[in-house]
Amino acid sequence: MVSKVLLMLLILAICSTFVICNAGGSKKKFHNKHKEGWKNGHDYDSYEPKYDGDGLKDNFYHKSCPRAEKIVQSVTERHVSSNPNLPAKLIRVLFHDCFVRGCDASVLLNSTGNIQSEKDANANRNLAGFDVIDSIKAEVEKVCQETVSCADILALATRDAVSLQYGRPLWKVPTGRRDGTISLASETSTNIPSGASNFTVLSNIFANKSLSVHDLVALSGAHTIGVGHCNFFSRRLFNFTGKGDQDSSLDPNYADFLRTQCKNSTDRITTVAMDPGSSVSFDNHYFEILKDRKGLFVSDAALLTDDDARRFALKLLNPKKFFDEFAKSMEKMGAIGVLTGSQGQIRKHCSLVN
């Protein structure tokens, strides 16, 4: 009896140390509506600014706009509470921002006159959440005019949205990014990998951003949340090699299920959860389905075609390892090609150059 109680206490103590015991299904417990800041430790804005390798630093707005990070967090939280799909939308926008001209909020710019911006490129057709970024920016502008960049707001809001279910930040976001002034639709297709990409294409695009194969695998774990439209994977179901066949790297029973969801091979309307059953929970379940050959896109399945990538994907079945690696890779992704110092500008409106 006594030893049972001791064992329980030990398990509780271990649980409170690691994020694993919180993974999934614990959103309500950590919901903190009425106060600014994280419930579970880590308030990065109590740190003194400290330079990072890329010219970013922790809490860059410490002096110039001390409440900036708190405002971003509370407005983001309000939006996520009413829209559980928002974390997936934002993290994808951030990925598409950082891979084209670096993390400079170029993806947020509207097309002007005869110049088509990134937003209007094919690969960005289904991006969403721009209105949320605009509303956070408006709140921040009320307190600090032309001080906090849209690029930082996007990076912070993404981290805060994805982290909300855990009540503590899942990765660090050093700040000091500035906003770019150029956004070209034509630069999108070469820098954003399509869902039909093989491993060679994926690893080349990531290497071009100074991201490793391990970063590629860890970041693909973001497909644990969100949805994919049928047209991006339906070839795998209906006509993979042009002989009316299906992709043999996809679990056949899962392919049967997917065919019940997608009406036909050109269906651009229907969406399917990328991690069915847990598609609003940010966890490492993606690596379970990947191992079971249920990754939705060719680009997911491709991670199993390279020895190093496959071994690393299997390591990420360990939740602690996944959260560590994902955090590291997000910090790298968030620093790609950033503008700092006097480069670029601080936009007034995230969708318009000043």
Q: Closest residue (Cβ) to ligand NAG?
A: 242
Residue 225 touches which of ligand NAG, ligand HEM, none (Cβ within 5-8 Å per kind):
ligand HEM
Smallest distance, ligand HEM to C-beta of residue 194, A: 6
- The interaxial angle of helices 213-220 and 307-315, nearest 10 deg, is 50
Separation CA 353–CA 3 (nearest Å):
66
3-state secondary structure 13-39: HHHHHCHHHHCCCCCHHHCCCCCCCCC
Pick 70 or 349: Cβ nearer ligand NAG? 349
Q: Which does 92 bind (CB under 5 to 8 A by kind): ligand HEM, ligand NAG, none?
A: ligand HEM
Q: CB of residue 137 vs ligand HEM: minimum separation in angstroms? A: 21
In the bound state with ligand HEM, the residue whose beta carbon lies nearer, of 174 and 226, is: 226
Q: What is the spatial distance between Cα 154 and Cα 162, in angstroms, rounded to a whole number?
A: 12
User: Residues 6 or more apart from 220 whose CB is under 8 A from it?
Assistant: 286, 299, 300, 303
Contact 139, 75 (CB under 8 A): yes
Q: Is 34 annotated as a binding residue?
A: no
Binding residues (CB under 6 A) for ligand HEM: these are 88-89, 91-92, 95, 126, 193-195, 197, 202, 216, 219-220, 222-223, 225-229, 232, 297, 299
Closest CB to ligand NAG among residues 15, 269:
269
- Which are the catalytic amino acids? 96
On whether 223 is known to bind a ligand per the annotation, the reply is yes
Which residues are near ligand NAG by CB under 6 A? 110, 198, 200-201, 208, 210, 239, 242, 244, 263-264, 266-267, 269, 349, 351-352
Q: Is 319 annotated as a binding residue?
A: no
Nearer to ligand NAG among residue 224 and residue 351 (C-beta): 351
229 is in an annotated binding site: no
The one of ligand NAG, ligand HEM, none whose footprint includes residue 239, by CB under 5 to 8 A per kind, is ligand NAG
CA separation for the pair 225, 281 (Å, rounded): 6
Long-range contacts of 180-183 (CB under 8 A, 24+ apart): 180/101, 180/102, 180/104, 180/105, 180/106, 180/109, 180/151, 180/339, 180/344, 181/344, 181/345, 181/353, 182/101, 182/106, 183/101, 183/106, 183/107, 183/109, 183/117, 183/118, 183/119
Q: What is the DSSP string of 298-338?
A: HHHHGGGSSHHHHHHHHHTTSHHHHHHHHHHHHHHHTTTT-
Nearer residue to ligand HEM within complex by CB, 38 or 95? 95
**Any known ligand binding at 344?**
no
Separation of alpha carbons 70 and 162, rounded Å: 16
> Which does residue 193 touch among ligand NAG, ligand HEM, none (CB within 5 to 8 A, set by kind)?
ligand HEM
226 binds, among ligand HEM, ligand NAG, none (CB under 5 to 8 A by kind): ligand HEM
Q: Which residue is nearest to ligand HEM (CB)?
A: 226
Residue 100 annotated as part of some ligand binding site: yes
Report phi then psi at 112, rounded to 5. -135, 140
Residue ranges for the known binding site for Ca(2+) are 97, 100, 102, 104, 106, 118, 224, 275, 283
Residue ranges for the known binding site are 97, 100, 102, 104, 106, 118, 193, 223-224, 275, 283
